[in-house]
């Protein structure tokens, strides 16, 4: 017998005994029902956490991407955009290798009168015709009409392009007239006075963001210089770069390149409040949902405590036969941890599958209930977005496993400290 080596940690007999205890029926001293409840709790907690965080990531990503598709990543403003030097400034901006687009803009608020007497506020974004055609709105956003005639005529002509929601609000289509009011365009002996001019709708587009579609009006930049009294002046150069997350680095390079006359900002500072609010919301939501996993993990404690109580005699016998405290601890730790591990794995898989097929699930539910679950006029998007960030959900799964292990460790440690003599005294 001296050549027989004791079984090592987590040996086959320890794992087999842990599994046998878990699947034992209640009358045999098992805790199968509590184990199932704990498993379901952890599974649902992990699944919900993965789904909610992925949907929040998708919503944040879609919102920022669509806002940046319209507003750009970096903005150049200042006195360098006036006079003959503005073209030179534009060329300097375009000289950076990371810059994919650089578009001069004039932007101004206006008031719009429709042909039937309808009125609405508007935001004019004046661009060069080629820049509009090459933008994401020009390539993918045209719903009705065409951009072929945009910018043709004296000083850019009288054709404009409007957002889809604004067209619906005013009840206009392609070829209809709209009257725009400029508060900066007119002047008289008594000071400035509003200037009105009638334009023809050449196309109706969507920007992908409902709030922009409700007010957006695209105008040739030469026409806007006259109508808004901005002769020889651009309001900004809107810059698109290859990697939006590197906008602060591009901002610093442009400041060095253009000098003190240029004011350069990027989307991270322009949308700092929104980004901060979204980050706080994600953090709070993650903590709240992690509490669901914690509550489910606490059920493991109650289950293993009952299991230890039911198996006190078995523990005492194993101790008298030579099983050490470590073996007893590992048996019950394995039993409790396996509940959490199984729940985490199944919840992880179900959560990922739900996110991958979320659009199909949304369509199926909408077909059943007969209405939209995600109205675009409220949420600015046409469907529930979901973006799986693997590092984040791996952290979620790891946290669930750690909580399960800690929950199982407490009663397992108490089981390993049971005195076999005291346990068998009253048997």
- Structural contact between residues 368 and 343, judged by C-beta atoms closer than 8 angstroms: no
Whether the pLDDT of residue 1 is over 70: the answer is no
- Of 32-46, 106-120, 176-190, 307-321, least confident by mean pLDDT is 176-190
**pTM of this prediction?**
0.68
pLDDT value for 221 = 95
Whether 299 has a pLDDT exceeding 50, the answer reads yes
User: Average of pLDDT values for 4-23?
Assistant: 70
Look at residue 164 in the predicted model and tell me its pLDDT: 92
Tokens of 331: 């048996």
Q: Which residue has the higher pLDDT, 410 or 60?
A: 410
Please compute the mean of the pLDDT values over residues 396-413 and round it to a whole number.
Answer: 90
pLDDT in tens, 218-244: 999 999 998 998 888 999 999 999 888
* 362-395 pLDDT tens trace: 888 888 888 877 776 666 566 788 888 888 889 8
Q: Who has greater pLDDT, 421 or 378?
A: 421
Write the pLDDT tens digit of every residue in 121-146: 999 999 999 999 988 889 888 999 99
| pLDDT at position 278 over 80 | no
Quick check: 60 pLDDT over 60?
yes
């Amino acid at each position: 017998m001296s050549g027989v080596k004791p079984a090592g940690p987590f040996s086959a007999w320890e794992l087999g005994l842990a599994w046998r205890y878990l699947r034992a029926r209640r009358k045999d001293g098992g805790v199968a029902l509590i184990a199932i409840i704990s498993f379901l709790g952890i599974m649902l907690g992990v699944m919900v956490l993965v789904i909610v965080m992925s949907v929040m990531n998708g919503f944040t990503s879609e919102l920022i991407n669509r806002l940046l598709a319209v507003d750009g990543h970096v903005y150049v403003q200042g006195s360098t955009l006036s006079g003959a030097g503005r073209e030179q400034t534009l060329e300097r901006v375009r000289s950076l290798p990371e810059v994919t687009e650089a578009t001069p803009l004039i932007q101004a608020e206006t008031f719009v009168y429709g042909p039937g007497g309808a009125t609405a506020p508007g935001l004019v974004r004046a661009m060069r015709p080629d820049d509009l055609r090459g933008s994401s709105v020009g390539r993918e956003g045209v719903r009705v009409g065409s951009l072929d005639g945009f910018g043709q005529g004296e000083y850019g002509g009288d054709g404009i392009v409007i957002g889809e929601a604004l067209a619906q609000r005013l009840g206009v289509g392609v070829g209809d007239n709209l009257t725009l009011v400029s508060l900066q365009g007119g002047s008289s002996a008594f000071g400035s006075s509003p200037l009105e001019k009638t334009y023809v709708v050449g196309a109706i587009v969507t920007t992908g963001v409902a709030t922009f579609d409700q007010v957006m009006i695209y105008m040739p930049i030469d026409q806007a210089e006259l109508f808004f009294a901005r002769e020889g002046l651009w309001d900004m150069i809107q810059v698109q770069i290859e990697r939006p997350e590197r906008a602060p680095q591009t901002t610093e390079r442009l400041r060095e390149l253009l000098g003190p006359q240029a004011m350069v900002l990027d989307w991270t500072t322009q949308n700092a409040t929104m980004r901060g609010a979204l980050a706080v919301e994600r953090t709070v939501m993650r903590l709240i949902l992690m509490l669901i996993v914690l509550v489910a993990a606490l059920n493991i404690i109650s289950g293993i405590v009952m299991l230890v109580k039911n198996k006190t005699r078995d523990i005492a016998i194993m101790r008298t036969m030579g099983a050490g405290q470590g073996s007893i601890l590992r048996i019950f730790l394995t039993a409790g941890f396996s509940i959490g591990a199984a729940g985490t794995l199944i919840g992880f898989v179900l959560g990922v599958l739900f996110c991958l097929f979320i659009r199909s699930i949304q369509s199926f539910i909408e077909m059943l209930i007969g209405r939209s679950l995600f109205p675009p006029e409220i949420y600015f998007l046409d469907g529930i977005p979901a973006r799986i960030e693997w590092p984040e959900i791996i952290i979620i799964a790891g946290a669930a496993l750690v909580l399960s292990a800690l929950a199982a460790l407490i009663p397992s440690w108490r089981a390993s400290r049971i005195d076999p003599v005291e346990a068998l005294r009253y048997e």
